[in-house]
Amino acid sequence: MIRLSILAITLIAGCGAAQAQDTSALPSGGEASLSAGFTPDPFTARLQSGGPIDVSQTRGLDCKGFIASAPDFDLYYNAGALPLIVSVGALVDATLVVHAPDGSWHCDDDSGGGLNPSIRFVDPQSGVYDIWIGTYADAAREEATLSISELSSE
């Protein structure tokens, strides 16, 4: 009985780990290297959003939507004096999760206007930004446009 309990705990713990975001995985939608002052601004990429992981279960209740384990996009960014704005445009209610170079996690749902997410790094750091685009439907894969800008839309 004890062996079965230990086996069950081991299996459950192993399944949970497989469901976390893997910042070391290759991004499914590509990558870009941009330096401060890049043109054209905004830089855009067409991606598929969504995945099987409920991000609120792995990153907390401030994060919403379903995402994949591997990032959708990796941004290699050489920062300057301008802010860095990561946004998503989609025909569905999309969410955004970004793992910043300092190891912090940032999540947004509707800050980009309407149902679109946007995260603004006022004083961005140089390094890799792992980016996930989520949807509210479990495992739904929807088209989305990732937009990376240094210019304020306000």
Q: What pLDDT, in 10s, does the model give residues 70-81?
A: 999 999 999 999
Per-domain residue ranges of the chain: 22-149
Stated as kind and residue range, the H or E segment containing 104 is none
CB contact set of 1 (below 8 Å; sequence gap of 6+): none
Give me the pLDDT at residue 117, please: 97
Q: Which amino acid is at 19?
A: Q
Decide yes or no: CATH 3.10.250.10 for domain 22-149: no
What is the value of pTM for the model shown? 0.85
- Rounded to the nearest 5 degrees, what angle is found at the Cα of 138, between the Cα atoms of 51 and 134? 50
Q: How far apart are CA 125 and CA 102, in angstroms?
A: 8
pLDDT at 9 over 60: no
Give me the pLDDT at residue 127, please: 98
